Each structure stands twice: as C-alpha cells, then as structure tokens.
C-alpha cells in the first residue's frame, strides 16, 4: 500500500515541482528584475521607457488596436453566432467550420496573406480595383493602424465566436419563449432577452480577443512595422535585440507591464462575472428555439458566406497562388502557374532543417506536456488533497501570459544567472511551448477524467496493481481520445509558433516560424508563401485528425 501511495505522490509532486520551477519562477524573476536594481527597489527603468514618446505611443497603440479588434469581433461574431446557432440558416455546420477556420491559420501567415492582398504597391485586391475603376493610386494601404486592426480582427474573432456560440446553443429558451408569447418579435426578443442573458459570454469572448490582440507580435511586426505602427510586443523585441544590459532591463519593464495588464484583465473579468447571476442553462434538457428567417434567409446566407470567404478563402487563396507563380514580375496567368518555386524550398537543406526542427520540438513538447497534463488533471479531478487546483491554476497563468513575456522571462532566468543555462538550446524552446500551450491539454484531459468513476481505479488497486500500472491499463485507455486531443492541442501551436521562438532560437535551433518571418522581412515573398502553404497543410491535417478522434468536439 505504501508503494502505491508513494508512486502517486512522487509523480504528482515532480509534476508540480516542474511547474513551479519553469512557470512561476521565471515570472517572479521577471517581476523582480523589473523593480530591483543593484539590490534595491528602483523604478528608473519604468520612468525611462515610459518617458520616451515611442514607447508611450506603442502602449496607446496596443490598447487602441486591442480595443478596435475586440469591438469589431463582437459586432461581427454575435450576429454570426445567432444566425448559425439559432436560425434555420442553410448549411450551418459548414458555415460554423468556415467561421472558425481562421483560428487554425497562424496569425503571421494571415498577416503575410493580407500584405499580399492589400500592399499599396502590388497587392492583388488593390491591383484588381485599380484596373476595374481605372485608378491611379491604390484604394487600400495595409500598413496602417486600420490595416493592423483589420487583420487582428479577422484572425482573433473566432475566440469570440466560439465562446458566444457555445453559450448561445446551451441557453435555456424558456425566457425567449415567454417573450415571444407576450408578442415580442424575434428581433425584439434578441435585443431584450437573448443579448442580456449572453452578456457574460460576450464579455468573456471580448476579453479573450482583447488580450490575444494585445499580446500578438506577428501581425503588428509584419503589417505594422513597415508603416511605423509599433506596439508593446514589437518594442520589447527591439530592446532585446539591442543585446546590452540596458536594453534587457527596459524590455523587462515593458514585459512586466504587459503581463500585469493581461493577467489583471482576466482576474477582473472573473470577479465581475462572479458578482452577478447569469443562469442561462437549466438542469433539464433544452433545445433552443430555431428562428425562421423567411424572406431574409438568402440575405443572411450571403452575409455569412461572404464573411467566411473574406476571412478564410481569400487569404488562403492568396498564399497558395503566390506559391505557384513561376515569375513574380509577370501577371498571374495560367501560363505563369506551376511548382517552380517549390523545388528550391523542398530541396534546401536550410529550409528542411527548420521544418524538421519545428516538428521535433513540437513532438517533444506535446509528449512531455501531455504526460504532465495527465498528472495535473488527475490531481485536480481525482484527489481531495488541499490545494489540488493550484497546479491547474499555474498552467492557466502560463497560458494567459503573453508569449513575448514568457520568452523574456526564460532568457533572464535560464541564461546561466541561476545555474542553469538553456539559452539557444532546443530545451528552452520546448519549455516555452509547454508554458504557453499546456493549459489546453489539461482542461481537455480533466473533462474526460471527471467522467471516469473512481471504482474502476479502486478495483485495479485492490487487485494488486500499483498506481502507475492503474494509469496505464485503466485510466489512459478510457480517456485515450482526450489524451490524443491534448497531444495535438500542444503539438500544432508549438509547430508554427513564432514569438517565443524568435527570441529563444539559436544558430542550430531555427524553427519554421522564425525562417518564415525572416523571409517575409527580407521581401522573399514567394518562398515565404511556399513555407506558409506547408504550415497550413500540416496544421489542417492535424486538425482533421483531432476532429476525427474527438468526433468534432475539440479543434484548434
């Protein structure tokens, strides 16, 4: 009996210890270094960075862009979620998949696509409009605040759509039925009943978009920086690339500010929602009323379909077409289409090395993260130990912390200052991926573990099996789909990750995200498009497997 207890305690204890060391310790070091200098409290670095107009403008621009993306996302996704979830709109399942598909596209790949489409000098859409209307100047310029906000909205609005649509479909329709019986029209019911009941979900979705947009680096770097539109994340990278102690200290001040802002917003939203009762799901089985659109059905179909085409089909089409153009200086015609640009990419040792690096690092992160997630989820769901939810909270802190902050915290903590030097190694990349993406695996596995009755585990233990054997033979087979889903939920974002990789990679550890960013920065548009298509194929294939394994319940 003692060996059974010891195996469980030891494994869970090691998991918690690893989380404390690699998640909390770097964050605390970052905060400490941001306010402590030469052994005393010193805020000179904060005064220094925020006294510079460029940093103050970056902060204001970050808030502005995040707010614009948040508001636009809610305005767009709430009616889309209502049309897809609560009306008789045709082909709803296909539209749901289309509307969340941009969530599967790496944001920086989407940024590259929209640069190709709305570049003022050679953008596809600009050229088409100039040709149709015989214009001398391009009607759109992507390299503006509006351009950055547009791309942020398109690629982070699925956060709001997923949150709102799931809550809307589970909502108890009794109050809506009462409003309709009282004579309210469908639109009046939507405004007076549905919208107030959906307030928590709308707020949660909006907050997710705000935090994600404010933490994003790829889109502002690719779309904003050419037009001198800088945000907090791009300024942090600029300071880190200075390479001196002063630059790192200034970057630390900005990163600490961003971390406090992001996590503070999450805490505030949790507190605010917890103050009021928004019960929209009853204990009985319910099916929301389906509103008949009548004569408006085809207009709604065109609106939803048109948005899906703009947000997903056109950007992906731009990337694919650019990757197939034989000569960029010639017009896009059938004679100028082929796989000429693919050959130098797939035969290049440099390119293939980066691709394989990304695959290997993502596999290591996914395998390690899934194992840790299993033990953390087990502790939270299957034990009664005091503080059992703390490790789950630690993974949530890591997942909600901006990627740029995680990368800087790891640079400060694991560059030899505290005895362990992992900088520029594959291990620091793997650790960064685990910190950022493990929370999704924990939640997925915990949901399945909660459905496994404790009697099965007790029977195995009473038969003489130790706890690890019980996990292998009883628990893991029963929740295998969730374990596979958790694996993919870590693998896919780790495979195409850019922000953390850009700060943590070394000469031998360059990833596909870093390579793609460099190609786009150095205006090698065609090779960047080929790599983008490779990323999209791998991510979409992984998502298809994930949907198949989980019967469509989990995706990325």
> What secondary structure, in 3-state letters, does 339-380 show?
CCCHHHHHCCHHHHHHHHHHHHHHHHHHHHHHHHHHHHHHHH
* Contact of 207 with 269, CB cutoff 8 Å: yes
337: phi > 0 → left, psi -120 to 50 → alpha, else beta; which?
beta
Position 278 scores a pLDDT of: 45
* Contact of 554 with 547, CB cutoff 8 Å: yes
Rounded CA-CA distance 544/339 in Å is: 25
b/e sequence 325-359, b meaning 16+ C-beta within 10 Å: beeeeeeeeeeeeeeebbeebeeeeebebbbebbb
In angstroms, the first-to-last Cα distance of the chain is 42
* Contact of 89 with 293, CB cutoff 8 Å: yes
Rounded CA-CA distance 125/319 in Å is: 13
β-bridge mates for residue 325, sequence order? 337
Position 456 scores a pLDDT of: 66
389 secondary structure, DSSP code: T
Encoded tokens for 25: 């310790």
Residue 504 main-chain phi, psi, to 5 deg: -110, -10
Position 277 scores a pLDDT of: 45
Q: Consecutive sets of 10 residues in the chain, 556 residues long: mean pLDDT of each?
A: 57 81 89 81 82 89 94 90 82 81 84 93 90 89 94 90 76 67 70 72 83 90 92 90 76 87 75 53 55 82 90 91 84 82 87 93 93 85 76 82 90 85 90 91 82 68 68 76 85 90 90 91 84 88 74 57
Looking from the CA of 109 toward its CB, the CA atoms found within 13 Å total 32
* Contact of 175 with 197, CB cutoff 8 Å: yes
Torsion of CA 158, 164, 166, 169, to 10 degrees: -130
Coil, helix or strand for 87?
strand
The rounded Cα 354 to chain-centroid distance in angstroms is 22
Quick one: which of 94, 211, 99 has its CA closest to 164?
A: 99
Encoded tokens for 101: 């598909």
Coil, helix or strand for 80?
helix
Coil, helix or strand for 286?
coil
Rounded CA-CA distance 393/35 in Å is: 25
| Cα distances (Å, whole numbers) of residue 91 to 98, 305, 543 | 11, 10, 21
Helix-helix angle 107-118:525-549, to 10 degrees: 140
String of DSSP letters for 20-69: IIIIIHHHHHHHHHHHEETTEE--HHHHHHHTSHHHHHHHHHHHHHHHHH
The total of other beta-carbon atoms located within 10 Å of residue 318's CB is: 22
């Amino acid at each position: 009996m003692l060996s059974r207890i010891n195996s469980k305690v030891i494994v869970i204890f090691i998991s918690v210890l690893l989380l404390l060391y690699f998640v909390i310790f770097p964050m605390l070091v970052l905060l400490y270094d941001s306010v402590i200098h030469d052994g005393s409290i010193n805020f000179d670095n904060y005064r220094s960075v925020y006294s510079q107009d460029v940093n103050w403008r970056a902060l204001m621009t970050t808030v502005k862009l995040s707010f614009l993306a948040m508001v636009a996302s809610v305005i767009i996704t709430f009616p889309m979620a209502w049309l897809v979830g609560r009306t008789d709109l045709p082909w709803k399942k296909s539209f749901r998949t289309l509307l969340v598909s941009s969530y599967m596209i790496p944001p920086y790949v989407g940024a590259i696509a929209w640069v190709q489409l709305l570049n003022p000098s050679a953008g596809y859409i600009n050229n088409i409009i100039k040709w149709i209307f015989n214009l001398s100047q391009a009607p759109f310029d992507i390299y503006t605040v509006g351009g950055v906000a547009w791309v942020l909205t398109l690629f982070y609005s699925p956060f709001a759509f997923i949150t709102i649509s799931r809550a809307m479909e589970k909502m108890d329709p009794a109050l809506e039925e009462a409003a309709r019986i009282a004579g309210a029209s469908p639109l009046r019911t939507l405004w007076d009943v549905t919208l107030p009941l959906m307030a928590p979900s709308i707020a949660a979705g909006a907050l997710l978009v705000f935090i994600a947009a404010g933490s994003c680096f790829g889109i502002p770097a690719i779309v904003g920086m050419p037009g001198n539109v800088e945000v907090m994340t791009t300024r942090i990278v600029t300071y880190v690339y200075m390479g001196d102690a002063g630059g790192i200290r200034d970057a630390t001040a900005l990163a600490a500010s961003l971390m406090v802002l992001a996590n503070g917003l999450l805490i505030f939203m949790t507190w605010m929602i917890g103050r009021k009762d928004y019960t929209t799901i009853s204990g009985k089985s319910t099916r929301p009323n389906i509103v008949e659109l009548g004569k408006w059905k085809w207009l709604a179909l065109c609106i939803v379909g048109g948005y899906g085409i703009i947000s997903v089909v056109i950007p992906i089409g731009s990337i694919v077409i650019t990757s197939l153009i034989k000569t960029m200086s010639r017009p896009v015609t059938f004679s100028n289409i082929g796989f000429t640009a693919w050959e130098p990419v797939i035969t290049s040792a440099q390119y293939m090395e980066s691709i394989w690096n990304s695959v290997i690092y993502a596999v290591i992160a996914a395998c390690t993260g899934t194992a840790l997630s299993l033990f953390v989820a087990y502790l939270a769901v299957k034990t009664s130990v005091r503080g059992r939810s703390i490790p789950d909270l630690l993974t949530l802190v890591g997942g909600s912390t901006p990627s740029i902050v995680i990368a800087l915290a790891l640079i400060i903590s694991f560059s030899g200052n505290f005895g362990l030097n992992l900088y520029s190694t594959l291990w620091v990349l793997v650790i960064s991926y685990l910190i950022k993406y493990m929370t999704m695996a924990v939640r997925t596995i915990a949901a399945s573990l909660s459905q496994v009755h404790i009697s099965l585990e007790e029977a195995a233990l009473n038969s003489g099996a130790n706890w690890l054997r019980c996990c292998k033979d009883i628990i893991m087979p029963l929740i295998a789909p969730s374990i596979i889903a958790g694996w993919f939920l870590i693998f896919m974002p780790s495979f195409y990750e850019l922000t953390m990789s850009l700060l943590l990679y070394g000469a031998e550890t360059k990833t596909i995200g870093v390579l793609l960013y460099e190609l786009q920065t150095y205006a090698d548009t065609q090779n960047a498009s080929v790599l983008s298509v490779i990323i999209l194929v791998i991510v979409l294939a992984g998502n298809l497997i994930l949907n198949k394994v989980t019967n469509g319940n989990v995706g990325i």
